[in-house]
Amino acid sequence: MLAACWFAVMKAGGIAVSTMPLLRAKELKAIIDKAQIQHELCDARLADELHQAMECLPMQVQYFNESSADSLEVAMTSHPPDFRNVDTAADDTCILAFTSGTTGIPKATMHFHRDVVAICACWPRHVLRPLPTDIFIGSPPIAFTFGLGGLLLFPLSVGASTVLLEKVSPPQLIEGIREYGATILFTAPTSYRNLVVNGHAVHGTSLRKCVSAGEALPEDTRAAWKDATGIDLIDGIGATEMLHIFISADEADSRPGATGRPVAGYRARVVDDAGNPLPPGAVGKLAVKGPTGCRYLADERQRSYVKDGWNLTGDAYTMDADGYFFYQARTDDMIISSGYNIASPEVEDALMQHPAVAECGVIGVPDEERGQIVKGYVVLRPGYVADALMARQLQEFVKKTVAPYKYPRAIEFRTSLPRSEAGKLLRYRLREGS
C-alpha cells in the first residue's frame, strides 16, 4: 500500500517505528510533532503529497520505489546481509501506534516489545488458531494495529505467509484471494458488506477463515456473508490502546449479536460511571485488563482511559449471564432524546436492513424540544432516488424494525460517508457538518 513510514529514536535504545498512511496536513503535523520523528521512509510516488504536508518540518527522508542513486534500494545494497539485533529489554518501547483519529485528534500509544509477543500468544492462538500453511490477506493498513497484527505479526508468529496488496477494493481482494490461494481474510464490516455482492466468487477458493474488526459487526452483515460464502465471520473488538483484539469468539462459540467473551489472558466487565461492576443486561462502560494496556505518550487523556488498573475503552456494552459481551455504541455516540438512550449503531443496523441502503451513519443533533434527535446520513444503492418519499420509507422501516422512538427524525442523503484509513465511520465529521 502507498504509505510513508516515520522513525523516532527512543531513549530506551534502538529505533521504534510508527507507520501511518498520509493524512490531512493538520493530523500529519500533530503526529510528527508528538513522536519527534527524525527519519522517514516514503514511497517515491507520494513525494509531492509528503512535501505539501511536511512544509518546513525538518526530517531526513529516504525514498523507495525509484531508480536514483539516493534510493533506499541502492542504500540497502551497500550493507552486509547479516546484522546484529539491538540490545533491548522487554519493557522498552517498541512501537508508537497512533489512534485512527475517530475523535479528530490522533493519540500516540506506546507499546513495549513484550506487548507484541503477548498479542501473538493470546487472540490468534486461542481464537483464530492459524497454521503454518495459512496465507493471510486483508484490507487494513499495517499502519493500524488491526492490520499490523493480522497481516504481519500473526502470520510471522506461526511461520505462515501473508499477501500485501497495494489496492484493496472488494474486487481486488477477491482477485488476491484467488490468485494467491489466501486462506485467512482480515477486513472491516463495511468491506464484508461490499464483498457480499461477489461472495459467490469465494466458493471454490482456499479461504477458510474470515475476521471482522475495526467497527461493530451488524448481524445482517454476518448472516449475509454466511449465506454468500458458507463461512462464519470471527468477530472481535480491539483498540489501538490495547494493541489488538481482547474480546472475541471463534466460529463454534459465537452468538448472534455478541462480540464474544474475553480472550485468554484478558478480563472484562461492564461498569457504571464510578467503576462499579453492573449486573448482566445493564448498559455501561466496557472495562478491560490484560497483558497489554493503554500508555499514551504525553497526553492528559491517560487519566481518563486507565482507572484503578482498568482500561476504559470508550465503548458502551452489556454482558449476559454467560459472559458474552454485546456492543451498544461508543459512549460518545449514545443519543439522549426526550430522556431515551438510543445507540447509533442500533439505528444504523436497522437502516442497513433496507434494500435501498448501501451505507449509513447515525448521530444525535441538537433539538430544542427533545434535547437531541436522531439524524441519519444515508448512501443509497444504484437505482434508488434520494428524495422525500425515500426518506419517509426509511423512517417507517426503522420504526417497524426497532422501537418507534428510535427512528431518524431527520435523514440526509450523501454520495459517500467520511471514514478513516482503517474503514471506521468518522461520526465526529458528521457532527462537525451538522
The whole-number pLDDT of residue 100 equals 63
Fold for 122-330, please state it: Rossmann fold (3.40.50)
| Greater model confidence, 323 or 202 | 323
CATH classification number, 338-433, choose in 3.30.70.100, 3.30.300.30, 3.40.50.720, 3.40.50.11610:
3.30.300.30
Residues, the chain, total? 434
Mean pLDDT of 397-422: 90
- Among 173-182, 196-205, 233-242, 268-277, where is mean pLDDT lowest? 196-205
- The per-residue pLDDT for 94 is 92
236-266 pLDDT, tens digit each: 999 999 999 999 999 999 998 899 999 999 9
pLDDT of 135 strictly over 80: yes
Give the pLDDT score at 24: 57
Q: Measured at the alpha carbon of residue 317, what is the angle toward residues 312 and 318, in degrees to the nearest 5?
A: 130
Residue pair 409/335 in contact by the 8 Å Cβ criterion: no
The phi, psi pair for 126, rounded to 5°, reads -100, -20
What grid cell was written down for 110? 506506546
18-22, 39-43, 303-307, range with the lowest pLDDT? 18-22
Burial 78-111 (b: 16+ CB within 10 A, else e): eeeeeeeeeebeeebbbbbbbbbbbeeebbbbbb
Q: Kindly list the domain boundaries of the chain, sorted by start residue.
A: 4-93, 122-330, 338-433
**Predicted local distance difference test score (pLDDT) of residue 428:** 83
Instruction: Give the per-residue pLDDT at 8.
Output: 42
CB 158 within 8 Å of CB 131: yes
**Which are the contacts of 14, defined by CB distance < 8 A and separation ≥ 6?**
86, 88, 92
